[in-house]
Amino acid sequence: MGIIAPTEEATYRQMHHILEHLIPDFEIREKARLAYRINRLKKEKNAVILGHNYMEAALYHSVPDFTGDSLGLCQMAAETDADVIVFCGVRFMAESAKILNPEKTVLLPATQAGCSLASSITAQQVRDLKKRFPGVPVVTYINTYADVKAETDICCTSSNAQRVIESLGTDTVIFLPDQYLAGNVAEQLGWKMYFPQDDADGSKQPADLKKTVIAWHGACEVHELFTPADVTSVRQQFPDVTVLAHPECKPDVVHEADFTGSTTAMIKYVEEHQAEEYLLLTECAMGDNIISEHPDKNILRLCSHRCPHMAEITLEDTLDSLENMRYEITVPEDIRVKALTSIERMLEIG
């Protein structure tokens, strides 16, 4: 919701209440100073701040008007009547907000906030796949850039991938670019996988592409690092642990988990259950965000695996972004119009 407080001191007190178990007091004071200025500027400029669940705890709990997963933030971006959207997330998310709101100013506080999935495929590669598999619908994960979305029939996120595929009513899809999300969805559907990248001359292509996910070798650089051995080791130390894995994890890791879902689905699961401990197989900052709101929950996470892109977004950068109106996201109009169709089709499914 963002902190609504009349003074810097009041902002500090509210932040201290949420963050005292997590962050040293002197740091909360410094961050409260920044948060107070950001929230004031936000009002002056009629701006809205959207914050992904992976934002660091002090930012997450102080300045976003809405926090959520990729789908939730996309829905919020589609509904806002603010003049300015500051996206505390990564570039592809800010681009989606711009695609939905061409008349608004969309700002990303750090230019470097990319994504290994989004950079794993180009629009030309999608066009080549469409030529090779004419008539097969293309589903792309929201973690792609605008020109890739423009070549796509429909987008999906980690929370609706299976529903999106089922909505197409076909038994073959091109699903890009996350090979592990594709693998997890293929398992749920009971379909096989085929990677045309490994088969340039088509000699390994199944004779029948019915019930096939045609996939791509993209991966999230964070989630691909988790292994079944990580889960085994934690289960040995904490026999009652409940393991939650994001669907960008490899299928053999998801098999070891008790629950798999988007970042928001994972948060909800922890809030609604009473386990001894929870192991979160996702970006570590999300564990901090849950702990600060629920100090009674025992959250375990493997913090050696971090998303360098999400970590680019700080309170300092967010303040700079609003003060200097940077870095503005633009999308060429011909690409935007085509990409919009694929996002709107997804939003209809929800």
Q: Where does this chain bind ligand 13P (CB under 6 A)?
A: 53, 69-71, 115, 143, 157-158, 220, 248, 262-263
- The C-alpha atoms of residue 346 and residue 242 are separated, in whole angstroms, by 31
Confirm or reject binding of residue 53 to ligand SF4 (CB under 6 A).
no
Which is nearer to ligand 13P, 5 or 243 (by Cβ)?
243
Which is nearer to ligand SF4, 39 or 143 (by Cβ)?
143
Confirm or reject binding of residue 283 to ligand SF4 (CB under 6 A).
yes
Place of tokens 């009652």: 240
Q: Please pick, from the candidates 116, 260, 318, 321, the single residue that binds ligand SF4 as defined by CB under 6 A.
A: 116
Confirm or reject binding of residue 234 to ligand SF4 (CB under 6 A).
no
Token readout for 60 is 């997450």
Partner touching 221 among ligand 13P, ligand SF4, none, CB below 5 to 8 Å by kind: ligand SF4
Say whether 8 sits in a helix, a strand or coil.
Answer: helix
Residue 307 Cβ vs ligand SF4, minimum distance, rounded to whole Å: 3
Window 210-229: residues binding ligand SF4 (CB under 6 A): 220-222
Residue 96 Cβ vs ligand 13P, minimum distance, rounded to whole Å: 11
Residue 261 is which amino acid?
G
Long-range contacts of 310-313 (CB under 8 A, 24+ apart): 310/52, 310/54, 310/55, 310/89, 310/90, 310/113, 310/283, 310/285, 311/56, 311/285, 312/109, 312/110, 312/112, 312/113, 313/55, 313/59, 313/88, 313/89, 313/109, 313/110, 313/113
Confirm or reject binding of residue 91 to ligand SF4 (CB under 6 A).
no
- The C-alpha atoms of residue 322 and residue 198 are separated, in whole angstroms, by 45
Which spans of this chain sit near ligand SF4 (rule: CB under 6 A)? 90, 115-117, 143, 220-222, 248, 283, 307, 309-310
